[in-house]
Amino acid sequence: MRTLTLRIQAYPSDLNPLGTVFGGWIMSMLDKAASIAVGDLINVNAVTVAVSNLHFLKPIQNGDVVTIHTTVTKIGKSSVTVYVEADVLCRKQFCNENCEMRVTDATFIFVAVDKSGQPIPVASVLRRDRV
């Protein structure tokens, strides 16, 4: 199920010399949102182990409000895969007013870990009220 997970605004300190958001900034926001989605699913810590299919589709400008949705796409033995999409309200030069525009998307894989950082089975730590 696609879930609104995070909304954040881009500020001048998030911009590169071209005046658009640093790729690393939006990637960290996607990672935060994915970790929130995983935290809603399991009741232990999880760590990011892979990011794939990261697409920077359109630039994010100063002042843009970024809306990030997550979808848990796979629950493995010790991993959880989350598809993450980031959108901003379209600016007139890109499309009609009052529509959202996809700016970035990616797939994140997290592994559930115990207190010593060792992988553990996801099935043993699922939040039963969330499944």
Tell me the CATH number at 82. 3.10.129.10
Would you tell me how many other CB atoms lie within 10 Å of the CB of residue 86?
Answer: 26
As a whole number of angstroms, the distance between CA 61 and CA 19 comes to 7
pLDDT for 111: 98
Instruction: Kindly state the average pLDDT of the residues 49-73.
Output: 96
The residue range of the domain holding 60 is 3-125
Beta-bridge partner residues of 54: none
pLDDT for 24: 96
pLDDT for 37: 97
Asked whether the beta carbons of 73 and 81 are under 8 A apart, the reply is yes
Q: Please check whether residue 102 lies inside any domain of the structure.
A: yes
Residue predicted with more confidence, 84 or 94: 84
Place of tokens 């030069």: 93
Q: How many domains does the chain have?
A: 1
Q: Please check whether residue 47 lies inside any domain of the structure.
A: yes
Per-residue pLDDT at 5 exceeds 80: yes
Q: Please check whether residue 130 lies inside any domain of the structure.
A: no
Task: Give per-residue pLDDT as tens, 10-55.
Answer: 999 999 999 999 999 999 999 999 999 999 999 999 999 999 999 9
Q: Please check whether residue 80 lies inside any domain of the structure.
A: yes
Q: Please check whether residue 131 lies inside any domain of the structure.
A: no
Residue predicted with more confidence, 5 or 92: 5
pLDDT for 97: 63
pLDDT for 95: 59
Instruction: Kindly state the average pLDDT of the residues 64-88.
Output: 97
Task: Give per-residue pLDDT as tens, 99-121.
Answer: 789 999 999 999 999 999 999 99
As a whole number of angstroms, the distance between CA 67 and CA 60 comes to 12
